[in-house]
């Protein structure tokens, strides 16, 4: 698995420092990418050695498969988070998404406030997604990479709520970090994700 470069100039972010983003991307995210490759090698070695018998209580296979979901989600969630940053926070660049948010939450202000409250409640990730099963926008939180996510949902706006995402710049003031996140949001990216997600429909 290859690391993706940041899609924006780190110095362009407002309120989120270059130091935070460099550590976040170059060390934490890169670490998950490396771990995915490491786990893939170990799974292959286990299979070739004929030791990949599973056991629901404990087995090496069970441990590796659990670690795999943590590492892969660690990669994907960070990429969705990075991809949505680097913007100017202008929601007019997302007309279809803005319309859908207003239809569901009555106003964009309420929609953003609701998402921010979900982010405050999360210890790991908060995601505004399109639920392809029910064809609706939903907020889902996860306190770990492989906990809380709902299969069949497409992330539209993803925010990292772990302390490493904000502690250097904001200390324990998580609310200020979330406010900075909205100022750096690239709504045009969110719009593309939303429009594409709506086209995919799972059978009910």
Superfamily of domain 91-198: Iron/manganese superoxide dismutase, C-terminal domain (3.55.40.20)
Helices (H), the chain: 18-22, 30-48, 60-83, 95-105, 108-121, 167-170, 174-183, 187-198
- CATH 1.10.287.990 positions along the chain are 17-83
Nearest to 101 by CA among 136, 132, 134: 136
pLDDT at 204: 64
Cα 137 from chain centre: 16
Confidence at 36, pLDDT banded by 50, 70, 90: very high
Ranges in the chain annotated CATH 3.55.40.20: 91-198
CA–CA separation, 20 vs 164, rounded Å? 8
Of the candidates 126, 136, 128, the one whose C-alpha atom is nearest the C-alpha of residue 104 is 136
- From 82, 65, 67, select the one nearest 30 (Cα to Cα): 82
Identify the pLDDT of residue 34: 98
* Residue 96 exposure: Cα atoms within 13 Å on the Cβ side: 14
Q: What is the mean pLDDT of the chain?
A: 94
Q: What percent of the chain has pLDDT over 70?
A: 99
List residues bridging with 130 in a β-sheet: 137, 154
- pLDDT, mean of residues 32-40: 97
Whether the pLDDT of residue 55 is over 90: the answer is no
Residues in the chain: 204
54 pLDDT more than 90: no
pLDDT in tens, 142-156: 999 999 889 999 999
Give the residue-averaged pLDDT of 97-109. Answer: 96
Specify the fold of 17-83.
Answer: Helix Hairpins (1.10.287)
Please give the pLDDT value at position 57.
Answer: 78
Helix (H) or strand (E) run with residue 136 in it: strand 136-142
Counting residues of the chain whose pLDDT is more than 90, the rounded percentage is: 86
Q: Cα–Cα distance between 173 and 182 in angstroms, integer?
A: 15
Question: Considering the entire predicted model, what is its pTM?
Answer: 0.94
Asked if 72 contacts 36 with a C-beta cutoff of 8 angstroms, the reply is: yes
Confidence check: pLDDT of 52 > 90: no
Q: How many CB atoms lie within 10 A of CB 70?
A: 16
């Amino acid at each position: 698995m290859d690391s993706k470069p940041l899609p924006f100039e780190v110095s362009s972010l407002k309120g989120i420092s270059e130091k935070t983003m460099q550590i976040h991307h170059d060390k934490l995210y890169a670490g998950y990418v490396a771990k995915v490759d490491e786990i893939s090698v170990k799974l292959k070695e286990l299979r070739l050695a004929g030791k990949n018998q599973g056991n629901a209580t404990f087995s090496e296979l069970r441990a590796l498969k659990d670690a795999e979901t943590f590492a892969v989600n660690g990669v994907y969630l960070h990429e969705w988070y990075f991809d949505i940053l680097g913007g100017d926070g202008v929601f007019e660049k997302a007309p279809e998404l803005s319309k859908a948010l207003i239809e569901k939450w009555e106003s964009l202000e309420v929609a953003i406030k609701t998402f921010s409250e979900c982010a405050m409640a999360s210890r790991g990730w908060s995601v505004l997604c399109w639920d392809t099963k029910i064809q609706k926008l939903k907020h889902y939180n996860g306190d770990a990479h492989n906990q809380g996510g709902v299969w069949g949902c497409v992330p539209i706006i993803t925010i990292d709520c772990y302390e490493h995402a904000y502690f250097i710049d904001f200390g324990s003031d998580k609310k200020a970090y979330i406010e900075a996140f909205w100022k750096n949001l690239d709504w045009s990216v969110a719009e593309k994700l939303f429009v594409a997600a709506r086209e995919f429909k799972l059978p009910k």
